[in-house]
Amino acid sequence: MSAPLPRVFFLDQSGDLGGAELSLLDIVGQYRGEKRVCLLSDGPFAAKLRAAGHDVQMLPLTSGVRRGSGVAEMLRSLPHLARVIAGIGRSARAFDVVYANTMKALVLAALSRPLHRRPVIWHIRDILSADHFSPLALKVARSAANLGTDRQIANSEATAAAFRAAGGHQEAVVIHNAIPTGAFHPQNRASLRTVLVQETGLDPANPIIGVFGRLAEWKGQHIVIEAISKICGCQLAIVGGALFGENAAEARLRQKVADLGLSERVRFLGFRDDVPALMGGVDIVVHSSIQPEPFGRVIVEAMLAGTPVIATRAGGAIEIVTDDATGLLVAPGDVDALAQAIARLIADPNLQQQFSEAALIDAKARFSPEICFPRIDSVICSVAGQQPPPSSAGR
């Protein structure tokens, strides 16, 4: 009989459901060893983990560093931080491996290492660049990664390259997100469209574009709004809520819709748990990030939904979409290029079908749980000094 899998202490800072958390939910769900998820704030992510029957520990981090924080803010939060670090150190000692899923989780896992003395994996899910982080945050992340972790998993080549460029010492293992296919029904797109039209009151005779993801400036929903304003009758469903305190983004987008006189053609559907069905119901999914996307789960999801996709040519998106073969790539922030790409697809149903069929095959082949999860299990086993389970062998 093979040895039991290492016991893993997963650590994530967020209570919200971003892509990093949804990916971790899948990783934890499939991991067959003993495990616990420790979170630094409560919220929908904790609720989903508990609903799935996972062991969830809450160590609330009520103050602390944010993107763009200065030294003074960091110093003020030290006593509270010290208590959280001590809590992580104590709890993680009962496990074999600490798996940090986010940037704050990395820093805390590294700082608590003298207490837990366990190998630390950092799953890098951010592009470590000045576009996304302050110089201080980059420095802290680099030091924590170089001094306080044993292995890094990057969610794309783009993320790994940014880690290297930011001064990361080790070579991160690139493992793309796995997207389970069960909730996607590409063969039902017509009926999913009917349901979407009924719910939204959009005009079934005109094209419906979908944009999915949290509402934030860098996600570029405003670019899609401007692009559809240039295409007669073109409609837009915006799916996603403001996460991580970025609450002003939604108001700005609604204002833009009003300013462009698009209220009849644009719907805000908020954060949804039925993304696969909604993706199947729209005619085209647009991924519109104006900064490099670390991975871009929504792109793979659109491919699995059987819906043609247009994405921005940067970051992880380039590793997912092959331009003019499994979708279209356009320059980030280029309204005219996006409008042209949308118009081209709308005008050519054969091209839509060609892209969606190729994309579905490609997504199933490259982003399947059967391929990606055993590779994660392998990394966990290797830092714990164990042989990977037989199902991971040779992957």
Residues that bind ligand UDP (CB under 6 A): 18-20, 22, 212-214, 239-240, 271-272, 275, 295-298, 301
Closer residue to ligand UDP, CB minimum distance, 209 or 346: 209
Q: Which residue is nearest to ligand UDP (CB)?
A: 19
Least distance in angstroms from the C-beta of 30 to ligand UDP: 16
Question: Going by DSSP bridges, is the β-strand pair 97-100/56-58 parallel, antiparallel, or unpaired?
Answer: unpaired
Choose among 25, 26, 32: nearest CA to 46.
25
Question: Going by DSSP bridges, is the β-strand pair 266-270/120-124 parallel, antiparallel, or unpaired?
Answer: unpaired
Closer residue to ligand UDP, CB minimum distance, 241 or 389: 241
DSSP label at 394? T
Burial (CB count within 10 angstroms: exposed 0-12, middle 13-18, buried 19+), residue 369: middle
CB hemisphere CA count around 49 (13 angstroms): 30
Least distance in angstroms from the C-beta of 28 to ligand UDP: 15
Least distance in angstroms from the C-beta of 212 to ligand UDP: 5
In the chain, the DSSP E strands lie at 8-12, 35-39, 56-58, 97-100, 120-124, 151-154, 173-174, 208-212, 235-239, 266-270, 284-286, 309-312, 328-330
Phi-psi sector, 331: left (phi>0), alpha (psi -120 to 50), beta = beta
Least distance in angstroms from the C-beta of 151 to ligand UDP: 21
Q: Which residue has the tokens 């969830």?
A: 56
Least distance in angstroms from the C-beta of 20 to ligand UDP: 6
Closer residue to ligand UDP, CB minimum distance, 87 or 296: 296
Closer residue to ligand UDP, CB minimum distance, 162 or 381: 162
Least distance in angstroms from the C-beta of 109 to ligand UDP: 20
